[in-house]
């Protein structure tokens, strides 16, 4: 809504702030400045909510995106604190969402998940709590290995081991998990002869 002071247009004001005013209200310079500050904060808060409609985000991601829009850093922090208090922004929930979403649609190992969450500005302790346990990691590795192994079934053991192992390592699984999955998938696809027993 447009705010007129002494009959002259002064600035636009968010409706929820404007309805607190009435014709004839006398405002000091400090009150006018506070209205403008609160209006800008309203815009920062709304911008953050808009970003969150696309997907959950960490506090750090939101901060970076809002600062790119040249919002005042102090107001950005104030908006983020409000969102955290309302539990709209929660890095613990975000990290859990990220891991669950990845493991459901595009499984990967803890090493890669950790790197992704670090790039989102999530703290180390929060990341450690969100990462899958050993059994979940093994199941994710098996899912990834199974998909890839179908395309490698015609290869000999050496090439199969190299390509599937490299694929699993690139997807963030550690060497021991990758080695175990390579042997498991080879055994499921082939019956190794005495001359071609898988060994790593």
Query: DSSP 3-state assignment of 4?
Result: strand
What pLDDT does 194 receive?
41
pLDDT tens track for 69-108: 999 999 999 999 999 999 999 999 999 999 999 999 999 9
> In this prediction, what percent of the chain has a pLDDT beyond 70?
82
Cα-Cα-Cα-Cα torsion 44, 50, 52, 54, nearest 10 degrees, comes to: -150
Cβ neighbours, 10 Å, residue 159: 11
* Per-residue confidence band for 5, with pLDDT thresholds at 50, 70 and 90: low
Q: Considering Cα of 100, then 106, then 111, then 117, what sign does the dihedral take? A: negative
Q: What is the mean pLDDT of the chain?
A: 87
pLDDT at 58 over 60: yes
Query: pTM to 2 decimals?
Result: 0.79
pLDDT band at 22 (very low <50, low <70, confident <90, very high): low
Q: Is the pLDDT of residue 195 over 50?
A: no
Q: Phi first, then psi: give them for residue 111, nearest 5 degrees.
A: -60, -45
Q: How many CA atoms lie within 13 A of 117 on its CB side?
A: 30
């Amino acid at each position: 809504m447009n705010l007129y002071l002494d009959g002259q247009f002064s600035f636009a004001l968010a409706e929820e702030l404007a309805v607190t005013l009435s014709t004839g209200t006398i405002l000091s310079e400090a009150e006018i400045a506070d209205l403008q500050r609160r209006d800008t904060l309203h815009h920062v808060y709304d911008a953050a909510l808009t970003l969150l409609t696309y997907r959950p985000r960490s506090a750090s991601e939101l901060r970076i995106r809002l600062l790119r829009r040249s919002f005042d850093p102090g107001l950005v922090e104030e908006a983020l604190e409000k969102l955290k208090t309302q539990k709209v922004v929660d890095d613990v929930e975000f990290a859990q969402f990220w891991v669950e979403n990845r493991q459901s649609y595009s499984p990967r190992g803890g090493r890669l998940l950790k790197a992704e969450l670090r790039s989102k500005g999530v703290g180390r302790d929060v990341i450690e709590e969100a990462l899958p346990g050993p059994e979940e990691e093994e199941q994710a590795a098996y899912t990834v290995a199974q998909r890839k192994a179908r395309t490698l079934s015609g290869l000999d053991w050496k090439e199969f081991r190299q390509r599937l192992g490299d694929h699993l390592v690139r997807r963030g699984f550690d060497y021991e998990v990758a080695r175990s999955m390579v042997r498991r998938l080879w055994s499921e696809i082939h019956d190794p002869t005495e001359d071609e027993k898988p060994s790593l």
